[in-house]
Chains A and B, each alone.
Chain A
């Protein structure tokens, strides 16, 4: 391992971790509140990348692309929740996994149909780089770290300081008790789901410029998203963030120690942690209601 590559690897790994956080927090929250495994979050990640790309291409503004993406995905999320999830909250975890996977497949196909198969290179909205630790570190990646931080703080504020957020935190523990206090649990479900979809789409939108955007990127990210969420502890904001950084860093550092470890290390960590603490790093035993 070359020591002078360690610093840059840490930086790159950290920004990768930030992307993993954005991509995984949706799934984590959905399980915490609704006890569903929403694999279709990968589809909103996918759409996030493509819609942002298209709007940017058409209007020249990446930021407009982000806004349009958030709006469209929010609408889609509302639709999906109403048509599909509303009727299956009480079903088993396996059931919702299969349904959400089918949804992911469907949206992957639609994306392929609209935008075609060829991978699309997406230009980063921020150019240039700074020299950190002897290596050029793209400004765009600095932006990702900052924006993820901001988003994390916003979510944390929402969950800890607003009444709706507190209700959601309470609902993660016991939705029945929340209902018996007179609060509509179903509304909380809707809010959580739409939030999750928008966050996943942001993950996709920001990830786009770092990788080639192609229709199967939703399927490719599924495992990493799932692992990050479970590793952190389903339903835990802090846990997802820490798990995401761990996954990002180990993949990054692993790649300079031993190239193949990029693929293998996340899965090894996942299995090891699961054997020691099955509920994840910061998870609590969340029973399926």
Chain B
């Protein structure tokens, strides 16, 4: 059964990655290439870079302003900024910890992380980052529903719900695992899933079946989420600093002013 679950998971990762790669090419790579390299209709068939447009290598300042401090959201409101910081940092740190978990426990097993305290710390980090993300998403959902009219152009409710369900099913999968494996050696490091498991374990439900269903749902939602990234507003995860680097170039604004001035003459 475990083998079947992992086969299903890896096949889904590959299909999801296929959509992701196609989307990244269609909506990021080819568009940036088109902005930077303008076709030259000359007989040689070569392409020359439009030197008036800045290369989209994000400067340190732009990365700091757009990806870390997230100045544009801060300018909108302190609440929206706090919510987005929770989501952004929760998501990035959860992704990093999940990769470290797979690396140290499966790919290059290190005893400290496989059977030692290190595994507990990784589990604690997974729960903490997941909780930060979950709180941010829940705040975002409440705000999006309360201010539906103003926010509908900025926030896609379906995408927010998708990510919320990804995190919620993750916690529920872990809680269900603790119900069927109550003597897990690292259960005390799970400060969210373990209490949920203790509170619900008394119910006479089919916990093994529920765990399999929840695990499969969580895996499908994660694969769907990654496949969606380049085709939806999630694309901002990758392109926000790049896009701003193109549009915030000093030359771009000067050229824009010149173009407007030409139109006026």
A and B together in one complex = no
Chain B contacts to A: CB under 8 angstroms: none
Chain A contacts to B: CB under 8 angstroms: none
